[in-house]
Amino acid sequence: MTLSDKIDSLMMQVEKPVRYVGGEFGSIMKKPEDVSVRYAFLFPDTYEVGMSHLGMKILYHTINKREDAWCERVFSPWVDMEQKMRENDIPLFTLESRTPVREFDLLGITLQYEMSYTNILSALDLAGLPLRAADREEGPFVVCGGPCAYNPEPLAPFVDFFVLGDGEVSTHQYIDVYKAWKASGRPRGDFLKMIVGIQGVYVPSFYDVSYNDDGTIRSVVPKPGTGAPALVMKALVNDLTAADYPERLIVPYGEVVHNRIMLEIFRGCTRGCRFCQAGMIYRPVRERSMERLLELAERLVNATGYDEISLMSLSSGDYSCLPDLAREMVQRFYEKRVAISLPSQRIDNFLADTLKETQKVKKTGLTLAPEAGTQRLRDVINKGVTEEDLMRSVRDAFEQGWSSVKLYFMLGLPTETDEDAMGIVDLAEKVRAVYFSVPKTQRAPGFRVTVSASVFVPKPFTPFQWCGQLGAEDVIRRQQMIRQAISRLKGVDFKYHAPDLSFLEATFALGDRRMGDVLERAYRLGCRFDGWNDQFRFDLWLKAFEETGVDPDFYATRAKALDERLPWDHLDAGVSKEFLLCEWAKAQRGELTHDCRKGCVGCGVKRYEGACV
Amino acid sequence: MRIIYEFGKKGRLRFISHLDLQRFMMRALRRTDLPVAYSHGFNPHPQMSFASALAMGWSSDAELMDIRLTESVDPAHALEQMRAALPPEMPVHRCRLVDDKHPALMARLEMADYRVELAGPDAAKIIAGIDGYMAEDTVMAVRKTKSGEKEVNIRPLTISLKAEGNALLMRLMLTPEDTLKPDLLLGVLAQRANAADYESAIFRTALLARDDRGGIVGLMEL
């Protein structure tokens, strides 16, 4: 039986076989003998989640544009499939050609979320590769990128190299070097030496880490003779209009989370919310030109048959000519019945009217993210939104026929008090009052406010990177305070989760290399798909911490001194440490920092050539 | 005006469910320049239907899809457009333009041909038992339906059953009232032959109807 037949023989025994079928319209097939580099791209979560990810689409496209390389996709098999694969000796395989991953040249893994890390170990294991990079004498080089690569240390033992920043150019740079290395016949270790000069490339095995007696990091220094830089700068693509962007897409058979055309209108964000890692690490703002976006939209609609285009970015309302773009898109695609959608926040009325005609989404939900319950705390996090703004948005929405509103908050933000937490209830109450102040004839029936509060996780390269996460006891106490108060408000629901998952997320977000042992232990104990409620086993994780002698609170809840060496201090994400320190000081004083389109705030990204000109 | 396409669903695409296939075809149609008629209402969608749903895991070279058009098209062009919009494992064999009065495929579908490839040590036992089965008048079997389980006499629903090498060729009833699925028949044959160690792969090879004179013809030829 061939591998393909073996895979087929399992399809009727697993949930959602469409996850493993492959062969979708738009997937790229090449002849193995025609290419010299085979690249397996792993999204370490399910097919439905991974196929909704824009970064994978961009890299898949840009690698496959090369005649000398073939990029194929891999997703984490769900637990039922993993078990069947192990029982039947089926190695991890790519969807396109169903080739075992261990036969590839490079295995690229995107790090979108810390809670997918056990899936990475599971994938390496299923591929038949030793988990630790030091133990791998053959098989693909493992490279990781994506937002979580900015603190790569917990994964350092398992990964050959990381790439920080934009992948459109850096991916080609290391593929080119790989080709040269392969042709040269030099030993395996030489490849890593050959790529350390590429901007964005970080080879963790080239650094020595030493620790102080109290467990904090003393130093991280490049090993002599490796050529590794003392400070790794991120890769940066300055011109997004000229950068590669997919002109065709894979159209999945099954339903996936975002089954539509995703058009990235710009990268980066100028607002400077202090809790937001994306807002810091994707700087500076780079817009794609309107002409290019319209051209891409046209091609993608024809190539995919999708009937919806989503205008994507961190804050789409900030695109400099959004009304023009939206109007033009709506006009061009009206006949083809293609809906244009963008996040409903911060849309002025005129724009809302333009989009209303084609938007397929029923007028039921408006989502707003005040993030914090009081103005004081919103100022601390630099969320430049006032209560007035919020009430105006909500009033507009109710007057235009919306009847339900979702409000997103975070609990445990730095400096948060019980009063701040109760401010969430206060806001919900005011939203309710606004609804009932709209005359009955004008408002839609079915009032509902859903208040969601997640637990704040401090992230590297944000002004809150020194903060300890709020402990579980306080989180639970504040959740209960809010829950009790909200239960008295008719039509208002409160959604919250146990703090365990956010706590674990913080240990990885803020952790160092010693977290690698915990990760491997948890994987061996059976942890998988930790971001999925039905799979998450906090008890096993606690056991893993205990067995490895690592204290999770050291990373998650401990506040770090401002002069402590942080695990990611040898990496540079664009924003400077001076800027982050200054922002942290301002946060504690409740001072705002303005949107940097209104004038440079000195975040440090100008240190990069060609950035912010 | 309507256009009927005959297409296959093979290889790994046999694991695509019918619901997923429907959604996929809607997007595929949007990749063509065919003047597809859309339904009215809040969420317009192409007016299309399939002659019969194919069970997950079965392959076919004889699926029929019926699409309403707003105007006539050149069939050769329509064929080329659909071929470009579908992946290789969904080959488009032919198409035919019919007018709006042409009977609905689903309403005229009466039976289907299947080829069931057998492998494994017990395959021969199953094949040896088919004459015995055909000689019976009554063979009761439990048919699973949406409303539950029902015991039916499947013998009259078996129009013909032959062997060809290691394959069974089945012609089975396929109407809303009387349907016999090839996997059910195979299960019954295996049970009668006391066969447990075998593998099977099911292919649908034709969808059939009766013409005005009562003769059996391909649904596409009607």
Domain locations along chain A: 3-233
CATH of the domain at B94: 3.30.70.580
Inter-chain residue contact A23 with B11, CB threshold 8 Å: yes
Regarding whether B79 and B15 lie in a shared domain, the answer is yes
Q: How many domains does chain B have?
A: 2
**B82, B107, B132 — which closes off a domain?**
B107
Chain B interface disruption, residue of A48, A81, A253, most B CBs within 10 A: A253
Angle at B156 between CA B153 and CA B158, to 5 degrees: 105
Residue A361 — very low, low, confident or very high, per pLDDT cuts 50/70/90?
very low
Regarding whether B156 and B79 lie in a shared domain, the answer is no
Question: What's the whole-number mean pLDDT along residues B16-32?
Answer: 93
Regarding whether B200 and B124 lie in a shared domain, the answer is yes
Inter-chain residue contact A306 with B27, CB threshold 8 Å: yes
Say which of B16, B44, B87 has its CB closest to residue A337: B44
User: Closest Cα of chain B to A312: distance in Å?
Assistant: 21
Q: Does B214 have pLDDT greater than 70?
A: yes
Per-residue model confidence (pLDDT) at position A352: 57
Regarding whether B99 and B116 lie in a shared domain, the answer is no
Residue A323 — very low, low, confident or very high, per pLDDT cuts 50/70/90?
confident
Regarding whether B59 and B46 lie in a shared domain, the answer is yes
Between residues A427 and A342, the one the model is more confident about: A427
- What residues of chain A, 248 to 267, have a C-beta less than 8 Å from chain B? 251, 253-255
Place of tokens 């929405």: A397
Q: Does A364 have pLDDT greater than 80?
A: no
Say which of A8, A253, A255 has its CB closest to residue B16: A253
C-alpha to C-alpha distance for A391 and A548, rounded to whole angstroms: 50
Regarding whether B113 and B103 lie in a shared domain, the answer is no
Place of tokens 């038949």: A128
Say which of B15, B29, B43 has its CB closest to residue A18: B15
C-alpha to C-alpha distance for A592 and A303, rounded to whole angstroms: 45
Question: What's the whole-number mean pLDDT along residues B195-206?
Answer: 96
Q: Which residues contact A490 (CB under 8 A, 6 or more apart)?
A: none
What are the CA-CA distances from residue A188 to residues A35, A39, A182, A572 (Å)? 20, 17, 9, 27
Indicate the SS3 state at residue A26.
Answer: coil
Place of tokens 């033009």: A328
Inter-chain residue contact A306 with B12, CB threshold 8 Å: no
Regarding whether B114 and B53 lie in a shared domain, the answer is no
Q: Please report, as a single letter, which amino acid is at residue A273.
A: C
B26 touches chain A (CB under 8 A): yes
Residue B51 sits in which domain range? 2-107
pLDDT digits (tens, 9 = 90+) for B3-20: 999 999 999 999 999 999
ipTM over 0.90: no
Q: Does A344 have pLDDT greater than 80?
A: no
**B56, B83, B107 — which closes off a domain?**
B107
Say which of A23, A251, A254 has its CB closest to residue B12: A23
Inter-chain residue contact B30 with A336, CB threshold 8 Å: yes
Residue B146 — very low, low, confident or very high, per pLDDT cuts 50/70/90?
confident
Angle at A527 between CA A522 and CA A532, to 5 degrees: 135
Say which of A8, A12, A251 has its CB closest to residue B27: A251
Regarding whether B117 and B66 lie in a shared domain, the answer is no
Chain A residues whose beta carbon lies within 8 Å of the beta carbon of residue B26 = 305
Regarding whether B113 and B205 lie in a shared domain, the answer is yes
Regarding whether B190 and B115 lie in a shared domain, the answer is yes
Residue A351 — very low, low, confident or very high, per pLDDT cuts 50/70/90?
low
- What residues of chain A, 328 to 347, have a C-beta less than 8 Å from chain B? 336-337
Inter-chain residue contact A253 with B11, CB threshold 8 Å: no
Q: Does A349 have pLDDT greater than 60?
A: no
User: Closest Cα of chain B to A305: distance in Å?
Assistant: 4
Regarding whether B217 and B117 lie in a shared domain, the answer is yes
Ranges assigned E (strand) in A24-145: 37-43, 69-75, 106-110, 141-145
Q: Does A360 have pLDDT greater than 50?
A: no
